[in-house]
Protein backbone atom coordinates (compact mmCIF):
# COMPACT_ATOMS: atom_id res chain seq x y z
CA UNK A 1 0.00 0.00 0.00
CA UNK A 2 2.77 2.46 0.86
CA UNK A 3 4.55 2.08 -2.44
CA UNK A 4 1.48 1.83 -4.64
CA UNK A 5 2.23 -1.80 -5.52
CA UNK A 6 -0.36 -4.26 -6.71
CA UNK A 7 -0.92 -7.31 -4.51
CA UNK A 8 1.23 -9.45 -6.80
CA UNK A 9 4.06 -6.90 -6.73
CA UNK A 10 3.83 -6.63 -2.95
CA UNK A 11 4.16 -10.40 -2.56
CA UNK A 12 7.08 -10.57 -5.01
CA UNK A 13 9.05 -7.66 -3.54
CA UNK A 14 8.38 -8.69 0.05
CA UNK A 15 9.64 -12.18 -0.79
CA UNK A 16 12.81 -10.74 -2.31
CA UNK A 17 13.38 -8.52 0.74
CA UNK A 18 12.82 -11.47 3.10
CA UNK A 19 15.34 -13.57 1.13
CA UNK A 20 17.94 -10.78 1.29
CA UNK A 21 17.23 -10.35 5.01
CA UNK A 22 17.78 -14.09 5.53
CA UNK A 23 21.11 -13.96 3.70
CA UNK A 24 22.26 -11.01 5.83
CA UNK A 25 21.28 -12.86 9.01
CA UNK A 26 23.22 -15.97 7.94
CA UNK A 27 26.23 -13.79 7.04
CA UNK A 28 26.21 -12.00 10.41
CA UNK A 29 25.82 -15.31 12.24
CA UNK A 30 28.78 -16.78 10.30
CA UNK A 31 30.91 -13.71 11.04
CA UNK A 32 30.15 -14.01 14.74
CA UNK A 33 31.00 -17.69 14.66
CA UNK A 34 34.37 -16.96 13.05
CA UNK A 35 35.85 -13.68 14.34
CA UNK A 36 33.39 -10.83 14.75
CA UNK A 37 32.47 -11.92 18.27
CA UNK A 38 36.09 -11.75 19.37
CA UNK A 39 36.51 -8.29 17.84
CA UNK A 40 33.41 -6.87 19.53
CA UNK A 41 34.14 -8.44 22.91
CA UNK A 42 37.40 -6.51 23.28
CA UNK A 43 35.72 -3.79 25.40
CA UNK A 44 33.82 -2.44 22.40
CA UNK A 45 30.30 -3.51 23.41
CA UNK A 46 29.26 -0.03 24.48
CA UNK A 47 30.52 1.57 21.30
CA UNK A 48 28.61 -0.86 19.10
CA UNK A 49 25.49 -0.58 21.29
CA UNK A 50 25.53 3.23 21.09
CA UNK A 51 26.17 3.06 17.33
CA UNK A 52 23.22 0.68 16.84
CA UNK A 53 20.89 2.80 18.97
CA UNK A 54 21.98 5.95 17.13
CA UNK A 55 21.19 4.30 13.78
CA UNK A 56 17.73 3.34 15.10
CA UNK A 57 17.01 6.88 16.28
CA UNK A 58 18.29 8.32 12.98
CA UNK A 59 16.01 5.98 11.03
CA UNK A 60 12.95 7.12 13.00
CA UNK A 61 13.83 10.81 12.65
CA UNK A 62 14.37 10.49 8.90
CA UNK A 63 11.22 8.44 8.21
CA UNK A 64 8.84 10.40 10.45
CA UNK A 65 5.91 11.76 8.40
CA UNK A 66 6.31 15.46 9.19
CA UNK A 67 3.24 17.71 8.60
CA UNK A 68 4.61 19.20 5.37
CA UNK A 69 5.04 17.56 2.02
CA UNK A 70 2.85 15.67 -0.40
CA UNK A 71 -0.39 13.92 0.49
CA UNK A 72 -0.58 10.15 0.40
CA UNK A 73 -1.45 8.79 -3.04
CA UNK A 74 -4.51 6.69 -3.94
CA UNK A 75 -5.67 5.23 -7.23
CA UNK A 76 -7.71 2.34 -8.56
CA UNK A 77 -5.93 0.14 -11.10
CA UNK A 78 -7.24 -2.63 -13.32
CA UNK A 79 -5.06 -5.75 -13.14
CA UNK A 80 -5.29 -9.26 -14.54
CA UNK A 81 -4.90 -12.09 -12.03
CA UNK A 82 -5.09 -15.68 -13.31
CA UNK A 83 -6.83 -14.51 -16.48
CA UNK A 84 -9.47 -12.49 -14.62
CA UNK A 85 -9.68 -8.71 -14.65
CA UNK A 86 -10.14 -7.05 -11.29
CA UNK A 87 -9.66 -3.65 -9.70
CA UNK A 88 -7.04 -3.16 -7.00
CA UNK A 89 -6.60 -0.22 -4.69
CA UNK A 90 -3.11 1.26 -4.86
CA UNK A 91 -2.15 3.57 -2.06
CA UNK A 92 -4.14 4.83 0.87
CA UNK A 93 -7.92 4.85 0.46
CA UNK A 94 -9.31 7.96 2.22
CA UNK A 95 -12.66 6.24 2.80
CA UNK A 96 -11.01 3.40 4.75
CA UNK A 97 -8.29 5.32 6.57
CA UNK A 98 -9.25 8.63 8.20
CA UNK A 99 -5.66 9.35 9.23
CA UNK A 100 -4.79 9.82 5.54
CA UNK A 101 -6.11 13.39 5.73
CA UNK A 102 -3.40 14.58 8.11
CA UNK A 103 -0.52 12.18 7.36
CA UNK A 104 1.98 13.18 4.70
CA UNK A 105 4.44 11.08 2.70
CA UNK A 106 7.82 11.00 4.41
CA UNK A 107 10.72 12.28 2.33
CA UNK A 108 12.83 9.15 2.85
CA UNK A 109 10.40 6.96 0.95
CA UNK A 110 9.99 9.54 -1.80
CA UNK A 111 13.75 9.59 -2.32
CA UNK A 112 14.02 5.81 -2.09
CA UNK A 113 11.30 5.43 -4.71
CA UNK A 114 12.97 8.02 -6.98
CA UNK A 115 9.80 10.01 -7.44
CA UNK A 116 10.15 12.99 -9.74
CA UNK A 117 6.90 14.73 -8.75
Nearest-angstrom CA–CA distance, 14 and 8: 10
Which residues on neighbouring strands pair with residue 80, listed in sequence order?
85
Tell me the per-residue pLDDT of 21-66, one tens digit each, with 9 for 90 and over: 999 999 988 887 887 777 777 777 788 889 989 999 998 888 887 7
Segment of 10-14, 16-20, 35-39, 83-87 carrying the highest mean pLDDT: 16-20
Give Cβ neighbours of residue 108 (< 8 Å, ≥ 6 apart): 62, 63
pTM: 0.55
Q: How many CB atoms lie within 10 A of CB 4?
A: 17
Q: How far apart are CA 20 and CA 32, in angstroms?
A: 18
Domain ranges of the chain: 7-113
Amino acid sequence: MMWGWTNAQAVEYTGILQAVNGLVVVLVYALFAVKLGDYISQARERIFTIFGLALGVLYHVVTFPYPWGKDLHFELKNVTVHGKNKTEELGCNPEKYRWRGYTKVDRFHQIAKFQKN
